[in-house]
Amino acid sequence: MSVPLLNGSGCLDALTAPGVAAQLDAFVTKTITPESREGNPPVRIAETEAGMLNSIGLQGPGIDAFLTETLPRLAAQRLRVWVSVGGFSASDYADICERLDGRDDVDVVELNLSCPNVDEAPESAAEIVAACRGRTKARLYAKLSPANSDIAESARAVVAAGADGLTLINTLRGMALDPATLKPKLARGFGGYSGPALKPVALACVSACARAVNVPIVGLGGVQSGQDALELIAAGASVVSLGTILFTDPAAPGRIRAELKSEATARGHRDPLEVRGVANS
């Protein structure tokens, strides 16, 4: 056995950086919406002391152009593709899932249920998952927000509605101010916060959900090293995703994979997955 490594949605463009994507076990696309979107106005990215803020706003080509232009190019790279799906209503999500149903070039559909940079759908996460499950047989992973007051209960609800797995966690809403003007650095004022400071939040959410449901969990949030990845596995993840680190270290997937094996070996384990959930026992 081995621990699959993915990229966080929006943290890597496999068409621009195919060498980085080739180091991963699967590539997660930027979130695809029904129609093309220009996204939020700039400034859309700001660094902080312990991470970064982004307010991209789900910029993308829309499902039609994705299917005719982007997906064939990803398939030509022989990548396992996870498609991140977003929308502004349950029907938006379900319509895209139906378009993706039965495709050999789509391995998993990840439902982005928690983007802090756009208005959310009025339906609950479970209602969106149920709508999608009714329109596709694809494997569905629900990406949940760490801002949820009871993420374990949300996990139970989406799994009961038909989710096959969970992705934990999405970014937290945050703000950064220009020290000279004391105005927000981002044009929208706030954005999604990611980076090393997010790891304790991710660990708590992965642990809570691993105790609540028995499905595969993709753990992400602040992973910079093999030690970080091992800790997410100990909290209950079976897959690890890399996000902000990919902006500064394109070699991170290979490095972290080697470090993860080394960290597990140092603790007497032949496979890192042998420590899955030990933090919860």
Q: Which residues are catalytic?
A: 115
Yes or no: say if 158 and 124 are a contact pair by the CB < 8 Å rule. no
Q: CA triplet 115, 14, 52: central angle to 5 degrees?
A: 40
Task: List the structure tokens of 271.
Answer: 């496979």
Please state, as a whole number, how many other Cβ atoms lie within 10 Å of the Cβ of residue 264.
21
- Calpha distance 250→269 (Å, rounded): 28
- The Cβ-side half-sphere exposure at 102, using a 13 Å CA radius, reads 3
- Calpha distance 65→20 (Å, rounded): 24
